[in-house]
Amino acid sequence: MLERVFGLKENGTTVRTEIMAGVTTFLTMAYIIFINPKILADAGMPHGSVFVATCLIAAFGSLVMGLYANYPIAIAPGMGLNAYFAYVVVIGMGYTWQVALGAVFISGVCFMLVTIFRIRDAIVDGIPHSIRIAITVGIGLFLAIISLKSAGIIAASPATFVTLGNLHQPTVVLAVLGFFAVAALSVLRIKGALLLGILGVTALSFLFAGNSLSSLVSLPPSIAPTFLALDIKGALNAGILNVVLVFFLVELFDATGTLMGVARRAGLLKDGKMARLNKALLADSTSIFVGSLLGTSSSTAYLESASGVQEGGRTGLTAVTVAVLFLACLFFAPLAGSVPAYATAPALFYVACLMLRDLTELDWEDITEVIPAAVTALMMPFTYSIANGVAFGFISYAGIKLLTGRAREVKWIVWLIAAVFVFKYVYEGAAG
């Protein structure tokens, strides 16, 4: 049955490999079931209900991605999107969290319509080859800064924005040892290198970093306080067009960038395209408005799926495994929470290093292709946003081609996307 549904032999993989890849992906993204409730609780949402909603939508989205699109890509509430929801829309603008959920719902419906009518396909097909490469590299750099921050190797600095962290902390030492272990095991072609590294650091954390496990099992809280609590009418009456636009654009390009980057890393692109892209996009967009019904901010395809791909995940069975583990978290929250961020950071940083190799595919003799690609890749970690990196990449690509007399090389969709992003930034500046 598994062979018929997922085509394991066709994709050169096995059940064991896919399950191990799924466990690896889950361990690298399990932090969301604790971080997302905390962030949304700051906006006044019930912590326990958001915890349940987070687990359910991660399971739902990953299951649809696995069974319908057959890709090894997991879905869960997006980091950055939840912060925008809580700290900008609710706390900053003063809207209720119910109205904010209504805005998420509206953006999700728009997102789904764009997907169903294949407008999003046209957008993705119009992405230049150099920008596609840059998206993969940028995601790698983005993963690098996330993992280094989680490990405590880098820290904030008022003078230089980022600086070296405290290398004497036990957690930092464990993260460094974990990275060397993952790299060495991978070079030695030990199966499950990333997973072994994560579990090894977790085990050591109980001995040297004060990690503890209070219990194994707990009953999930009630989801009733957030279930169907969204205020769609309020969102429409409030006229928060800019909020919906931001949700929509970030959802569009974060998800698209992640899907293409992870698929490229897995070798699942054919002639630079994803064969079942529309199904993957539909799984992603469906998760957004379903998540708003359950009571959480926008969901998206997860960067951390790259760690599972690195472990050999090539089919939807990897995503289905992630879905099952998120459902299990409803009852095993203490156990899932015992894997600290500094234990998954080494695996993510290792994957990030490997994702930089795609830079060799750029045509370094064509400056009009190289510069926009570099802008795309660099702006992702420096603005802490995949969407911003893609935005500046499109704008610089169109602008440089225009100013060098090569405007004919630019597809119409690139002009349109660049114009939309320019309008977005100008509008935000005027509103600010």
In the predicted model, is pLDDT for residue 124 greater than 70?
no
Mean pLDDT, residues 244-263 taken together:
76
The Cβ-side half-sphere exposure at 135, using a 13 Å CA radius, reads: 27
At 207, is the pLDDT very low, low, confident or very high (cuts 50, 70, 90)?
Answer: very high
CA–CA dist 299, 292 (Å, integer) = 9
Q: Is the pLDDT of residue 272 over 70?
A: no
Assess contact for 131 and 376: CB atoms under 8 A: yes
Domain-embedded: residue 323? yes
Q: Is the pLDDT of residue 313 over 90?
A: no
Task: Name the band, by pLDDT with cuts 50, 70 and 90, for residue 322.
Answer: very high
**Domain assignment of residue 361, yes or no:** no
How much is the pLDDT for 241? 72
pTM of the model: 0.73
Kindly state whether residue 46 falls inside one of the protein's structural domains: yes
- Helices 386-403 and 412-431 sit at what angle, rounded to 10 degrees? 120
Q: Is residue 178 part of a domain?
A: yes
pLDDT of residue 216: 73
Mean pLDDT of 91-102: 89
The pLDDT value given to residue 267: 78
Model pLDDT, residue 173: 96
Confidence of residue 393 (pLDDT cuts 50, 70, 90): very high
252 part of a folded domain = yes
Q: How far apart are CA 238 and CA 183, in angstroms?
A: 52
User: Which of 380, 418, 349 lies closest to 137 in space, CA to CA?
Assistant: 380
Cβ atoms of residues 298 and 247 within 8 Å = yes
Residue 360 covered by a domain: no
Mean of pLDDT values over 214-223: 81
Q: Pick the more confident residue, 199 or 243.
A: 199
The per-residue pLDDT for 196 is 85
More confident residue, 340 or 427: 340
pLDDT of residue 431: 57
Mean pLDDT for the chain overall: 86
Structure tokens at 296: 């959480």
24: number of Cβ within 10 Å: 33
Q: What is the mean pLDDT of residues 208-215?
A: 82
Residue where the block lists tokens 């802008």: 375
Decide if 150 is inside a domain: yes
pLDDT at 266 over 90: no
Minimum mean pLDDT range among 52-56, 216-220, 391-395: 216-220
Query: Containing domain of residue 77, as a range?
Result: 2-355+366-431
292 lies in a domain?
yes
Give the DSSP H or E segment for 27.
Answer: helix 15-29
Q: In this predicted structure, what is the pLDDT of residue 336? A: 62
pLDDT of residue 432: 54
Closest by Cα among 307, 295, 261 to 280:
261
Taking a C-beta distance cutoff of 8 angstroms, is the pair 368, 404 a contact? yes
Length of the chain, please? 432
Number of domains in the chain: 1
Is the pLDDT reported for residue 429 higher than 70?
no
Number of C-beta neighbours around residue 227 at 10 A: 15
